[in-house]
A and B are shown apart, each in its own frame.
Chain A
Amino acid sequence: MTEAYIFDALRTPWGQTALYEVKPVDLLARVLEGLQRRQPELDLKQVDDLLIGCVTPTGDQGANIAKAALLQAGWPPTTSGMTLNRYEASSLEAISLGAAKIRAGWAELIVAGGIESMSRVPLGSAGGALGFDPGVLHRVDYVPTGISADLLATCTGFTREELDAFALHTYHRAVHAGEQGYFHPSLQPIYDQNGLLILDRDEWRWPAMTADLLQAQSPAFAELGALGFDQMALHHFPAVEQVKHLHTPATMASSADGAALLLLGSQQKGKALGLTPRARIRTATTLSLDPAILLRGAHQAAAVALSMAGMEPTDIDLWECHESYAAIPLHCQRMLQIPADRLNVNGGAIALGAPLGAAGAFLLSTLIDELERRDLNTGLATIAAKGGMGVAMIIERQ
């Protein structure tokens, strides 16, 4: 069978405020232009498709931003574009879909990734039946992800201290990685139309996080829970006395603006165009569980991806688990017995924030850069997504 390879991975810096002035279509177009610069030998006419994850595809990000960005970047009209939404796992899904097309032989060269300008198009502004339609809310007893994360932490018996400690690690690792330039290989600075720099490094929500500052934070979801969502969670878990609100704004992913892309293709196409494979996609999987326990999707998907590859958790050199809430990577770590020094080694969304539609592409670009830097081989990226879903992917360095 044809294998799917990753030839390149790049992203904008993650912006907290600096990228607010850049319209989403430009964010994506600039990364496309960046790809051209990094791969000067790449014949754009050979790119079959641009698959873009976007969680709030409305307004500036509405309809099909992938095609709009291709045209805005001046790519030839021969590349198709598509936007897809699998919540937090959108870009990981886009990459998985791209890989599947290549493995099936229905495409040879694909760019896949994600975009989210959460400052321009706030989460929730696209509405949607899951979350806003009273009938659906009641039918499925749907609770927001934050409540679900607190429920997971409650059921698993995590303490506030454990979540804070995990987050502190993430902050320290991310700061260290940033200072050492570990993210540098993938970063694509953003300039304005005059060539003036807007942002060339990730912006920090908490540049100097401390244990005290973490401890000082108030629970993020106590009020939401008191509105009634706690009771709804207990409909699913009646043996729990009450949902403990353990996550704070500092132990969950913050909003961010940014876009990220991977260049995928078959070995043959790569050879023909003179592209060097950086990694091979071994397996990818998508699954779905009870929405109230949505956050278990990450470790479940990882387990399935491993078994598809005939691998054990110990076969994975580096893990990236999306940090939407601290309980998720912690839970993943516990369930799969991942050594702490192999999981999210350069921090994650708790420290850096996450442009939701690009969260998966970030995990992969970080994974590839770090595998290369440490000269290791195998990496696994996994994401729990709203609605009970989980997406995981295993890559192998070439």
Chain B
Amino acid sequence: MIHYKKDTDNIATLTLDMAGVSANIINHRIWEAFVPVLDHLKQEKKRGQLRGVILTSAKKTFLSGGALDYLYQARDASEIFESAERLKQFLRDLEHPGVPVVAAINGSAIGVGFEVALACHRRIALRDDRLRLGLPEAEMGLIPGGGGIIRLMWLLGVAKAYEILADGRRYLPHEALQKGIIDDLADSPKEMLLKAKSWLLETSEGRRPWDRPGATIPGGTAHDLVIAQHLREQSARLAAQTHFIYPAQRAILQVLSEGSKVDFNTACRIESRYYTELVLSRECKNMIKAFWFDANFIRTGKNRPRGFGKFRPRQVGIIGAGLMGSGIALSCLRQGMKVVLKDVSKPIADRGREWVTQKINALVENAELQASQAEKMRKNIQTTDDSSAFETCDLVIEAVFENQAVKQKVTREAEQYLDEYALFGTNTISIPITKLAAASIRPAHYVGLHFFHPAEEVPLVEIVRGALTSDETIARAFDFVQAIQKTPIIVKDDWGFFAARVQNTYILEGITLLQEGYPPALIENLGRQAGMPKGALELADDLGLDLVLHYEQQAAEHYGPKYIQHPAVQALTKMLTTLERPGRAKRAGFYQYDSAGQRTLWPELTAHFPSQNIRANDQEVTDRLLFAQVIEAVWCMQEEVIFSIAAANLGSIYGWGFPAAKGGVIQYIRDYGLAKFQHRCNHFQQAYGQRFRAPKLLPKVATEPEASI
């Protein structure tokens, strides 16, 4: 488990090598294995036969955490607290042999794995872009529990520690060096060990900074006005950005504020208490559910048609060099694919390449990309106005203007050059795939690939199955989306697919509230405060009111005589026809827009939708805005528009920003409590109409183990 080797300079190398597993995972077995090793080190030190220690790994990863299954289940405060305290004690023992310890990080060290590295006096990592280093606990609604916050604070100061912890990024080795969370880089394992050794030979201080008398935290503590003010500003910023929905960042601020004022060990105990609170929190459970269990469900291909080999696209053709096409191009380039970017003329296609180049440059400036990789990416994109350049492509995606005839035309042009295996993907938001595929000469290879704005950032793609799309095409589309590091969700070719259809109910409910006489600012603020990225009316303006109405008309067509008109249709029609305010594109919608594009609510809105000054119950407004989406998502599951709870949850979080703290649109029901949710639906149905009727599938999606749906 731990190989021990000591050289003639009295430097001991500990190599982690867990038996029977591909990666070193930190757990009780490792701690137990460490006990005799640490004892032995202490003895050696006493005998004067130990100068330093190097900690490294025999595996591809340095050390990973992986207690998420346990944390998801954990319900006992004292047990969670004790486990954090035990981990801390272990790390204290590790940094206390009396001689300096170097972590020679030869593989990824994330979460607890990185906490172990932090408990070493010096961290040297391999310069290898497959490595990731960092403390991303916040993304699961968690904080480090091994003293990571406190160590980072002592090493880098309160302000920098907050920035790194709240961001929760997994850094590349050179970024980690820049951020100061590691001390050195090495080009090879051999050089790394040499560097470790030479540092140990010239270092005699065996105490960490916080164990030395009189040592202080760099930059000061929260007793100092500058730091106190900084924490206050960060608190305000966080409140404005997240409206208190995400508890992890709040906890980080509190641990830093309180922990900076007390000694190291007390600070660690404070960290354990907040850690325990977070593990027990619903937000943490919801986020582990979404970003661990649901993400694994998708990643392992549970929704992917079986029996087809892995598709490894190397070259991707993209038609349309606008923002969407260019964003997709960038996503492909970042994963090492070659891209052919086509538009009606070469200069227009070049504009797309120019945009991509600027983005690449910005990534280099941010240290998210190395100059050498950037150079390769710039070479990997070619532009053209000629479809014959697609001959060597494994996949072509069209992202042209939302018009059926135009889309069909570019499809036909491209298809004549594609080989019989190549996929053709269409990026449409509202035209049925089956209709578009009618123009395709190979409809089995034709599939909807619905990217979201901005395509280079949103980690979701809806794969839309047309009537003739083959299973193999779906499987390959799935592989492609995964290859560009996005989450694929397979959806049915109904109006709005999944994301836009469900998101539309949020907008419609907001418009309904306006019609009922709620003040528009209230609707917008409560939507945002519930964790939605935008207010419902704001979103309507951005999409265009005609599109919002169009989706609802498609729903009417779909349900035929069973359709019950949404009360918002009346208001939408009034806005579009009588008031001629179609949205942001015309700089006139629910909002008005100044010359800089800044929006404020249209002052006449309350004249046309008189405010009844209803302030009955903010919670009721908030619930209506969220319930509308949740109920529609359950309908989507019932109508097999989407095929798994996991896909619905992640689709909602990534696709339209449904609050991650709720775990996504289906997890919301479990979080709320099924019985309570049903009761609330009944109340809403009686008070506001049939749209709040709970679908039959509701109890099932809220109670069944996720893997079986």
Contact = CB atoms under 8 A, between A and B. Distances in A.
- Are A and B interaction partners? yes
Interface in A218-253: 227-232, 234-235, 238-242
B149 to A, nearest CB: 13
A134 B244 CA distance: 12
A135 B254 contact: yes
Contact of B257 (A134, A141, A239, A240): A134
B205 to A, nearest CB: 33
B519 interface: yes
12 contacts: A125-B225, A127-B223, A132-B229, A132-B232, A138-B238, A138-B239, A228-B233, A228-B236, A229-B236, A239-B519, A239-B522, A241-B601
Contacts of B33: none
Nearest to A240: B521
B447 to A, nearest CB: 42
A134 B525 contact: no
B629 interface: no
Interface string A111-148: 00000000000001101000111110110010000000
A135 B234 CA distance: 12
B521 A227 contact: no
Interface in B230-256: 231-241, 243-244, 250, 253-254
Given A132-B222, A137-B235, A235 B529 contact: yes
Majority SS at the chain B contact face: helix
A394 B586 CA distance: 59
Given A228-B236, A228-B240, A228-B241, A234 B254 contact: no
Nearest to A131: B232
A377 B181 CA distance: 71
> Which of A231, A235, A240 has the largest count of B CB atoms less than 10 A from its CB?
A231
A124 B233 contact: no
B9 interface: no
A135 B238 CA distance: 12
Contact of B529 (A125, A135, A138, A238): A238
A238 B233 CA distance: 21
Given A134-B254, A227-B236, A228-B236, A239 B615 contact: yes
B223 A141 contact: no
B228 interface: yes
B358 interface: no
Nearest to A135: B254
A164 B240 CA distance: 29
> Which of A229, A231, A234, A238 has the largest count of B CB atoms less than 10 A from its CB?
A238
B600 interface: yes
B618 interface: yes
Contact of A138 (B225, B244, B618): B244
B269 to A, nearest CB: 16
A228 B243 CA distance: 10
Contacts of A132: 222, 228-229, 231-232, 257
A241 B521 contact: yes
A141 B238 CA distance: 11
A238 B521 CA distance: 7
B237 A228 contact: yes
B71 interface: no
B217 interface: no
B223 A228 contact: no
Contact of A228 (B238, B257, B526, B529): B238
B519 A134 contact: no
Given A124-B225, A228-B240, A228-B241, A133 B600 contact: no
Nearest to A230: B240
A137 B238 CA distance: 11
Contacts of B222: 132
Nearest to A241: B521
Interface size class of A (residues with CB under 8 A): 20 to 34
Majority SS at the chain A contact face: helix
A241 B257 CA distance: 32
B526 A127 contact: no
Contacts of A241: 520-521, 524-525, 600-601
Contact of A238 (B241, B526, B600): B526
Interface in A232-284: 232, 234-235, 238-242
B225 A127 contact: yes
Interface string B609-648: 0000001001000000000000000000000000000000
B521 A239 contact: yes
B153 to A, nearest CB: 14
A134 B257 CA distance: 7
Contact of B240 (A137, A227, A242): A227
A231 B250 CA distance: 16
B525 A232 contact: no
A131 B229 CA distance: 9
B601 A231 contact: no
A363 B234 CA distance: 37
Given A228-B241, A232-B240, A240-B521, 18 more contacts: A124-B225, A125-B225, A132-B222, A133-B254, A134-B250, A134-B253, A135-B250, A135-B253, A137-B239, A230-B240, A231-B240, A235-B244, A235-B529, A239-B521, A241-B521, A241-B524, A241-B600, A242-B600
Contacts of B520: 241
Contacts of B234: 134
A231 B238 CA distance: 10
A235 B243 contact: yes
A232 B239 contact: yes
Contacts of A141: 239, 244
Contacts of A231: 239-240, 243
A134 B253 CA distance: 6
Interface in B409-432: none
B521 A134 contact: no
Contact of B239 (A133, A228, A240, A242): A228
A124 to B, nearest CB: 7
Q: Which 8 A-B pairs have the closest CB atoms?
A: A228-B240, A228-B236, A231-B240, A134-B253, A241-B521, A238-B525, A239-B522, A134-B235
Nearest to A126: B225
A301 B253 CA distance: 36
Contacts of A242: 521, 600
Given A124-B225, A127-B223, A127-B228, A133 B257 contact: yes
